[in-house]
Chains A and B, each alone.
Chain A
Amino acid sequence: MAYEVNGKAVTADEEGYIVNLADWSEPLAEIIAKSESLDLTENHWEVIRFLREYYNEFQIAPAVRVLTKAIGKKLGADKGNNKYLYDLFPYGPAKQACKIAGLPKPTGCI
């Protein structure tokens, strides 16, 4: 499959994860989110930006615990939990947020 951003096609795999990570852009994230029936708010963007920073350093998305801790530190303890992340990304913070952030899908027993 492919997404269309400003008239340009961005290739994605059968599950909607983009193939070339360099193709990612903020407008693309909005488009991927829309295909997941999500409207991105500043709260979503906080998560997306953290995922991308972590990925740049470690070449993998952070463990959910690492993510909740980082969000808790940044936005307050009431937001540093799984429920907050599931409210933002109902299909699960690991997979759905990675897809929108343009990162590869985490695989395995997760």
Chain B
Amino acid sequence: MSDIVAPPLSDYVPTPNLKPDAMKAVRPFKASPEHQAALGFPGTLVEDWQKVAIKRLGELVEGSRALRVFLDSCVKCGACTDKCHYFLGTADPRNMPVARQDLVRKVYRRYFTWAGRWFPWLVGAQDLTPDVLESWYTYYHQCSQCRRCSVFCPFGIDTAEISMAAREILDSVGVGQKYCNEILGKVHKIGNNLGLPEPALRNTLEGLEEDVKDQCGADVRFPVDVVGAEVLLITPSADFFAEPHIDGLIGYAKVFHQAGISWTVSSEASEAANFAMFIGSHEQMRKVAQRIREAAIALKVKRIVVGECGHAWRVAYSFWSTLIGPLDFLDPRYPQPQHICEVTKGLIARGALKLDPSANDDKVVTFHDSCNVARATRMGDRPGGQFTVPRSVIRSVCAHFVDMDPNTIGDKTFCCGGGGGLLTDDLMELRVKGALPRLSALNTVVQEHKVTHMAAICAICKTQFSKVLPYYGLPREMVISVHQLVGDAIVLGAKD
């Protein structure tokens, strides 16, 4: 742990006294020319960057009526100001969603509106200067694109769209972010964010087969590239590598095993995440998603199931049909794609899993709604299924469940503080401070209801919490996968 000091936890997170420029110096490392080149972006700042950036902004507002409306319609009512976890945690006024949006909005006004062209001083329009470009890089990498502010905006302005557009423009002039762009390069080259080559993937999964055998005596398989399997599982590569993620993967495998569903992962598409969404690149997003379509066809599967990854579920649920659809080569009797929580809930409902919730009697569990799942997707066949399905799964396998403050869950959930391509060590100060609202709500249920664990269904959330919990004096082991709870409660051997 470094010398970053976490703000104090309290039952109610107050709107902070403003600290102008408090976070001005906090910015992620820039992508190297090699990272940029791998994605087709210029390696360094192009000479005529101002012209290129304005042209790209013009193309983006031409291509997206939504973006144009978001840039045109803000009336500065202020409803969003205290809704952002980064503002609440850092007190930097530029982290008020309205102020962060305005960094692009004032440039849009200057070049694309009549009033801004002729009377910029009257309408808050501003030239695109080197300082403005730098402020974009800094503050659009202090937005996790969680879209909580949009829930409270009377016009429904989607800050994430503006933040994605800004990052896309930055990439187009040669100023990329190292974390996201290096990772996207690895997806193209090796097949996943980690850079985990096939032999290592196989070795890790074989090791898990041994572990599960040692633990409960059952021959649970973790198959790779099995042609003709029923299900292709697309899951974040962190599930193969990190703690506590890997116990979630063991949970998925136990569910498939007991339900008798044949499944496989793909060595070509061993990654659910699609960081292209974070950098706003439609072309990259399609390319990354396309691998999954190709893997599904090559492996002749009937279903695609998505593991515990927040933004991957958004990309899959909301964008796959336009990016890589139609998915009409899959079995139409199942939702395509399907979330692992939907699969598990369906199996529990028809009694296909033998569960012993007392295995989790040592825990009092709460659930963290991940922002992309909560505000951009659905599960099941009813509105709000993305909230009720995971909770229903948890309640089936765990007797003690408590929700956090209703203003911090469901569609009002607070970001973990590491979403949207910000889960990088060089932004640790931002990540620690941005976790304040979520961890305040968590701390309240720890104090009042003796909550011991917070379950999540997103690899980013799990990593972020295990890193930042200790800064707030809470144990890192508190965060677990929903499917770890499931895996621990499944009684193997009983219905094999």
Q: Which residues of A contact B (CB under 8 A)?
A: 14-15, 57-60, 62-66, 69, 82, 86, 90-92, 94-95, 104, 106-110
Contact = CB atoms under 8 A, between A and B. Distances in A.
B197 A58 contact: yes
Contact of A64 (B179, B196, B237, B241): B241
Contacts of B200: 58-60, 62
A109 B207 contact: no
B305 interface: no
Contacts of B179: 107
Given A65-B243, A110-B194, 9 more contacts: A60-B196, A62-B204, A64-B246, A66-B204, A106-B194, A108-B238, A109-B238, A109-B309, A110-B238
Interface of B: 1, 29, 179, 182-183, 186, 192-197, 199-200, 203-204, 207-208, 211, 236-238, 240-243, 245-246, 273, 309, 423, 425-426, 459-460, 462-463, 467, 476-477
A94 B182 contact: no
Nearest to A83: B477
Contact of B1 (A15, A91, A104, A109): A91
Given A15-B425, A60-B197, A107 B243 contact: no
B420 to A, nearest CB: 12
A70 to B, nearest CB: 9
Q: Chain B CB within 10 Å — which of A14, A62, A69, A108 has the most?
A: A108
Contacts of A91: 1
Main SS at interface, chain A: loop
B29 A82 contact: no
Contacts of B462: 109
Contacts, number: 91
A90 B197 CA distance: 27
Contact of A107 (B194, B207, B426): B194
Contacts of B204: 62-63, 65-66
A73 B393 CA distance: 35
Contacts of A110: 194, 238, 241-242, 245, 459, 463
B205 to A, nearest CB: 10
Nearest to B2: A91
A110 B236 CA distance: 10
Contacts of A82: 243, 477
B137 to A, nearest CB: 15
A69 B186 CA distance: 27
Nearest to A64: B243
Q: Chain A CB within 10 Å — which of B186, B211, B240, B241 has the most?
A: B241
Contact of B207 (A59, A66, A92): A66
B182 A65 contact: no
Contacts of B186: 107-108
B181 to A, nearest CB: 11
B176 to A, nearest CB: 14
Nearest to A86: B476
21 contacts: A14-B426, A15-B425, A58-B199, A60-B200, A62-B200, A65-B204, A65-B211, A69-B211, A82-B243, A86-B476, A90-B1, A94-B241, A94-B242, A106-B241, A107-B183, A107-B193, A108-B186, A109-B238, A109-B460, A109-B463, A110-B463
